[in-house]
Amino acid sequence: MPLTRLDLRGVAAHELAAALPRPAVEQSFPSEAVRAVLDEVRLGGDDAVRALTRRFDGVEVDTLRVPQEELEGALERLDPDLRAALELAYTRILAYHGHEPGPVPDFENDGVVVQHLVRPVARAGLYAPGGRARYPSTVLMCAAPARVAGVAELVLCVPPGPDGTIAAETLAAAAIAGIDEVYRVGGAQAIAAMAFGTESIRAVDVIAGPGNRYVAEAKRQVSGIVGVPSAFAGPSEVVVVADDATPVAWAAIDVVVQAEHGPDGLAWLVTWSPRAADAIEAEVDRLVATSTRRADLEATLGSGGYIALVDGPAQALDVANVVAPEHLELLVENAAALLPLVRSAGAVFLGPYAPASVGDYLAGPNHVLPTARTARFASALRVDDFRTHIHAVSMDAATLARLAPHVAAMARAEGLPAHAQSVVVRGEP
């Protein structure tokens, strides 16, 4: 199945945005369908969640919450090698997020003291996809920054399988991360339940985690009712930049990797070498034809698979910045030299020995990344997504007396006499 070819040679940087296709998810937000689900859960609570789970997942779930002993049992039965890998990954993710910048020091200016208070949210809702694949790694990625932030209660929603259960690997990861509550609920109804609350699921303060376009759209619609990181964490994306020196097999498998997640994603190969384009495309075709996930690969590559021929490295990065991909792989010689040209990407992987798969699991930085071109203004999930910042102002009488005339003048100019009086009255005998 050939990838869609785009010959961008000679296209000026300012013309690229118009020349490139826009993400399918950006063109067709399922706004009305998602709004109907949100309203149904907001009004119907647990009964609505069960009905929607029956409708969308094809399974009858009587008890939404997964018992704690089921998590612990899944962990005990887990393959020892997988358990060691999950525990190593969680340790590395925790270490990275623990390294993020801490509280801002207090500030003093001419008698005015401003203290900077950082407070975790009380209760965070996490979402890990299910259905086509299991994602214990996403559980770890969402839980680690929330734990570093100091969130007291972590709630996880995961779509149930056909038998109403959640994959043991996912439950084991929840046990490793110390998740407080796990619910077998997926889709937009899970986002609605965490945002509005139901009889079984108490409302949360923040919702984080990737999902399909319905999950991402649901988070967009409840933003403001709960905190939602600004990224549209939807279907997976990759841009692989390659040249004649890039091993063909390495570039091809990295194009295919993110397409494994299923439809609506993007997989781009960008190169200035027609020879590399031909060879890598042929290898992609071979990989797709022999994959156990062939249907998912064909769905993604058929609608969102591209090969872009460009004039050279600079134009390749111009293209990447317009696509603003979730993952950007620079599989070229001296990849670090191109890093200053990167403006918009969720995460960048430099050189042949740093594939995005390592970032998906245990490099340390988060794999919950912006998609659908939201990397233009949004970033990977981080500790601050689970915290609020509060400033506390103090001053003495002398400082207020010195500043009061200026405050009063500004307040009167805005037609707010009570504002002016609030400082004036403090200076009266």
**Structure confidence by residue, pLDDT tens digits, 20-72:** 987 655 456 688 899 999 999 999 999 999 999 999 999 999 999 999 999 99
Same domain, 211 and 279: no
Total structural domains in the chain? 3
Same domain, 132 and 260: no
Same domain, 223 and 251: no
Residues 6+ apart with CB under 8 A from 146: 120, 124, 126, 154, 208, 386
Q: Does some domain include residue 109? A: no
* pLDDT value of residue 122: 97
**Structure confidence by residue, pLDDT tens digits, 415-427:** 999 999 999 999 8
Q: Does some domain include residue 384? A: no
Same domain, 23 and 169: no
* pLDDT value of residue 259: 83
Whether 201 has a pLDDT exceeding 90, the answer reads yes
Same domain, 61 and 22: no
* pLDDT value of residue 296: 83
Rg for the chain (alpha carbons), in Å? 25
Q: Does some domain include residue 349? A: yes
Give CA–CA dist 78/309, Å, rounded: 46
Question: Which CATH number is 309's domain given?
Answer: 3.40.50.1980
Per the CB < 8 A criterion, the answer to whether 155 and 191 are in contact is no
Above pLDDT 70, what percent of the chain? 97
* pLDDT value of residue 333: 86
Of residues 408 and 236, the one with the higher pLDDT is 408
**Structure confidence by residue, pLDDT tens digits, 156-165:** 999 999 999 9
Give CA–CA dist 239/248, Å, rounded: 15
Please report which confidence band the pLDDT of residue 212 belongs to, taking 50, 70 and 90 as the band edges. confident
Give CA–CA dist 138/129, Å, rounded: 8
Same domain, 297 and 224: no
Give CA–CA dist 245/333, Å, rounded: 7
pLDDT averaged over every residue in the chain: 93
Give CA–CA dist 254/77, Å, rounded: 32
Q: Does some domain include residue 305? A: yes
Beta strands of 128-168 (E only): which ranges?
153-157
| pTM value > 0.85 | yes
Same domain, 289 and 326: yes
Structure tokens at 379: 């970033």
* pLDDT value of residue 132: 65
Whether 293 has a pLDDT exceeding 90, the answer reads no
Same domain, 52 and 89: yes
- Average pLDDT, integer, range 192-201: 97
Q: Does some domain include residue 112? A: no
Give CA–CA dist 24/359, Å, rounded: 25
Tell me which residue range forms the domain holding 271: 4-27+234-376
Same domain, 241 and 299: yes
Catalytic (active-site) positions: 326-327
Picking from 372, 364, 356, 366, the residue whose alpha carbon sits closest to that of residue 386 is 366
Q: Phi and psi for 194 in degrees, rounded to 5?
A: -70, -30
Q: Does some domain include residue 329? A: yes
